[in-house]
């Protein structure tokens, strides 16, 4: 077994590998850029080596710097995590030339499966179902248009070396191809150093299912069941779960055996994932098509660990050291259900645009996960596990992926795992930048999610006009009105205690007028809850002035986690995927409420504001141009993803305030329309 390994990655996956290596008694080496000098993974490792400035192509993507760090520290092996150099065959060959082990598959398998064009040819030869499309290189936009027309719309344009949702564009028409082909090439080049693009038929109403593979160097390959990854946004997975609510045992066996056969065809060893697109409910298991094979550990691997009890990182290390798998296919079972939500630095209320900046406050619902060597350790504390690599006061940088953390829950049933997600998300405190916690909670509560009727179009279909917060029922609204009144009363009681010695102490209120989300309620408090419009609601809270959160206790041992903030004369209470703005007044002052002056935000409807820090890649218009609603105005690149900013209304361009190539801050005015 290795005595020391180097992790050629950063963030939560670096922390994840270090934890398992530590349990196995293996010393670890971290490499870090200037941006990560104070990151948790650097502090966790036994040694750390600085490798350059923040841009990945000047640090984490330079093989020579990784190899030099291995030589400097005496690391015998490299775990690549995912992304960066994890699927670069030339990196593995360079390590082998220096007699450094790679904790991953052989370079030939990486080369064969990492090229999406070549991998489809191999899959077809191995007898695996493949999606109809053009398997070859595309010359230019006109060639792409011809191919798309021959295949038939809709089609998917993909960077050949792509992954993680980058370098992908869905096209429903020739216009979409002409608008997106060059952007797909640029994203492929910027993210993977390869601008080749291929085009394939887009399967309507598809489910995205993937099979986890593990193999050793002795010819043994197993499949560790499937993961459902259908809920995606811009082809980036948002929610993953294991097992799938759709896959039958017969389908699971058919999928698993085909994926094992494909792996064996390229002499695969280590962990890997075969991604499939599934259409229909054909119980023979023949309704699936090969998409690609990811020759690395997946972001969503914890859900597989939770239902199988297998530590995939440990297996990767043991395989790289030459050990045989200590299990057979018959040993792989399914216990319970696990769901993973990716907590991103993005603002769902602003079209899910990236949100970079400082984590002013960061408090996960449980301490970041530590593996105790048992299956229950891999499921976390009471079925809740957090994998993260950030810290309070740290920056979420524009240079790297916007993921803040992964929230994993495990339960005996799918509903139990989802309920644990909702409770854990209510306890997740993130301040200082936009995040998608509300959106994730809304997904977990959604009737369609609960029914298991998932497709990759779920988010676009269920939130066609964007996200405005989770739905809320009348019962919850009345409860929160009562809670808000009790919070205001607690603050008033504290003020009374301070003013006891004054000549005219504050008059205590017993009745309150509450306006929440535009609805008015009359509240009378008592020791066991409140009368809300004459209806008794029993509850207690542990809130006291100064706290940013509280637990509301309800009859039947039920609880509700809430986050609380002051917003001028109002309160903000966040729970179950929605923030409620609440005005609380003593009932005697309610008639005066309509005369209170509220600040009206400025009108910015004539301006195109930059929604996140980024690079202005392209201006699609010039001063004097007439534009229509929905027309592209500018393209801004942030976190290696290009974002097309469109006109919200028709008009004429009055002025262009920034030039292509400029770096923009949040809310920079890119251009303005005439009055």
Which residues form the catalytic set? Answer: 292
Cα distance between residue 478 and residue 465, in whole Å: 27
DSSP-derived pairing of the beta strands 558-567 and 614-619: unpaired
Cα distance between residue 667 and residue 646, in whole Å: 15
- Do residues 545 and 565 lie in contact, with contact meaning Cβ atoms separated by under 8 Å? no
3-class SS of residue 467 = coil
Of the candidates 464, 528, 525, the residue with the CA atom closest to the CA atom of residue 493: 525
Counting beta carbons within 10 angstroms of the beta carbon of residue 155, is it exposed (0 to 12), middle (13 to 18) or buried (19 or more)?
A: buried
Query: How far are the Cα atoms of 85, 143, 166, 249 from residue 138, in angstroms, in the given order?
Result: 26, 6, 18, 40
Tokens of 210: 């993937």
CA 621 to chain centre: 33
Counting beta carbons within 10 angstroms of the beta carbon of residue 417, is it exposed (0 to 12), middle (13 to 18) or buried (19 or more)?
A: buried
Phi-psi region of 195 (alpha: psi -120 to 50; beta: other; left: phi over 0): alpha
Cα distance between residue 98 and residue 102, in whole Å: 11
Maximum Cα–Cα distance for the chain, whole Å? 91
- CB-based contacts of 158, cutoff 8 Å, min separation 6: 116, 167, 168, 184, 197, 198, 199, 200
- Do residues 90 and 84 lie in contact, with contact meaning Cβ atoms separated by under 8 Å? no
Of the candidates 363, 450, 451, 378, the residue with the CA atom closest to the CA atom of residue 410: 378
Query: How far are the Cα atoms of 143, 481, 534, 543 from residue 510, in angstroms, in the given order?
Result: 74, 15, 14, 18
- CB-based contacts of 655, cutoff 8 Å, min separation 6: 623, 671, 672
3-class SS of residue 160 = strand
Of the candidates 466, 469, 428, the residue with the CA atom closest to the CA atom of residue 445: 469
Of the candidates 159, 164, 161, the residue with the CA atom closest to the CA atom of residue 81: 164
Percentages helix, strand, coil for the chain (3-state, rounded to 5) are 30, 30, 40
665: how many CB neighbours lie within 10 A of its CB? 9
3-class SS of residue 3 = coil
Of the candidates 439, 444, 476, 443, the residue with the CA atom closest to the CA atom of residue 573: 476
Q: Where are the beta strands (DSSP E) in 8-119?
A: 27-33, 47-52, 77-79, 101-102
Map 98-119 to HEC letters.
CCCEECCCCHHHHHHHHCHHHH
């Amino acid at each position: 077994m290795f005595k020391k390994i180097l992790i050629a990655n950063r963030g939560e996956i670096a922390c994840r590998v270090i934890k398992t290596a530590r349990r196995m008694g293996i010393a670890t080496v971290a490499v870090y850029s200037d941006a990560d000098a104070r990151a948790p993974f650097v502090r966790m490792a036994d040694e750390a080596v600085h490798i350059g400035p923040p841009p990945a192509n000047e640090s984490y993507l330079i093989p020579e710097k990784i190899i030099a760090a291995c030589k400097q520290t005496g690391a015998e092996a490299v775990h690549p995590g995912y992304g960066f150099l994890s699927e670069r065959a030339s990196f593995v060959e360079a390590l082998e030339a220096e007699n450094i082990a790679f904790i991953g598959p052989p370079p030939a398998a990486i080369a064969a499966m990492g090229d999406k064009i070549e991998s489809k040819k191999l899959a077809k030869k191995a007898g695996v179902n493949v999606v109809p499309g053009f398997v070859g290189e595309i010359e230019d936009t006109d060639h792409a248009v011809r191919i798309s027309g021959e295949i038939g719309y809709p089609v998917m344009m993909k960077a050949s070396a792509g992954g993680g949702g980058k370098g992908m564009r869905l096209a429903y028409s020739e216009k979409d191809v002409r608008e997106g082909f060059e952007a797909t090439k640029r994203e492929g080049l910027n993210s993977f150093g390869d601008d080749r693009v291929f085009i394939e038929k887009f399967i309507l109403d598809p489910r995205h299912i993937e099979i986890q593979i593990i193999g050793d160097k002795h010819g043994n390959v197993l499949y560790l069941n499937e993961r459902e990854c259908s809920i995606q946004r811009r082809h980036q997975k948002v929610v993953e779960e294991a097992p799938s609510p759709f896959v039958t045992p017969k389908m699971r066996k058919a999928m698993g055996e085909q994926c094992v056969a494909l792996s064996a065809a390229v002499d695969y060893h280590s962990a890997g994932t075969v991604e499939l697109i599934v259409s229909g409910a054909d119980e023979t298991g023949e309704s699936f098509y090969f998409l690609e094979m990811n020759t690395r550990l997946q972001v969503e691997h914890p859900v597989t660990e939770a239902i199988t009890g297998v530590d995939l990182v440990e297996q990767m290390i043991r395989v790289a050291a030459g050990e045989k798998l200590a299990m057979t296919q018959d040993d792989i079972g399914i216990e319970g259900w696990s769901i993973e939500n990716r907590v991103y630095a993005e603002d769902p209320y602003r079209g899910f645009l990236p949100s970079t900046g400082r984590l002013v406050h960061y408090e996960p619902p449980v301490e970041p996960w530590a593996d105790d060597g048992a299956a229950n350790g891999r499921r976390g504390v009471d079925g809740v596990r957090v994998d993260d690599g950030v810290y309070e006061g740290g920056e979420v940088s524009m240079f790297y992926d916007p993921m803040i953390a992964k929230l994993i829950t495990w339960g005996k049933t799918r509903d139990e795992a989802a309920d644990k997600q909702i409770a854990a998300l209510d306890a997740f405190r993130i301040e200082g930048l936009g995040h998608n916690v509300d959106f994730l909670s809304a997904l977990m509560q959604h009737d369609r999610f609960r029914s298991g009727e998932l497709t990759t179009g779920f988010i676009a279909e269920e939130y066609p006009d964007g996200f405005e917060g989770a739905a809320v029922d009348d019962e919850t609204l009345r409860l929160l009105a009562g809670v808000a009144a009790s919070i205001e009363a607690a603050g008033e009681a504290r003020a009374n205690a301070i003013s006891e010695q004054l000549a005219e102490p504050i008059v205590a209120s017993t009745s309150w007028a509450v306006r929440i989300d535009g609805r008015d309620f009359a509240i009378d408090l008592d020791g066991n809850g409140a009368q809300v419009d004459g209806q008794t609601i029993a509850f207690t809270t542990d809130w006291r002035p100064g706290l940013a959160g509280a637990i509301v206790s309800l009859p039947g041992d039920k609880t509700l986690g809430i986050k609380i903030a002051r917003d001028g004369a109002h309160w903000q209470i966040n729970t179950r995927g929605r923030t409620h703005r609440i005005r609380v007044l003593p009932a005697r002052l309610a008639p005066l409420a309509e005369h209170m002056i509220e600040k009206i935000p400025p009108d910015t409807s004539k301006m195109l504001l930059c929604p996140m820090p980024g690079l202005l890649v392209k201006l699609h218009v010039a001063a004097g141009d007439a534009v229509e609603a929905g027309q592209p105005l500018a393209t801004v690149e942030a976190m290696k993803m290009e974002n097309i900013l469109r006109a919200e209304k028709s008009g004429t361009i009055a002025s262009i305030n920034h030039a292509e190539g400029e770096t923009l801050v949040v809310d920079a005015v890119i251009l303005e329309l005439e009055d």
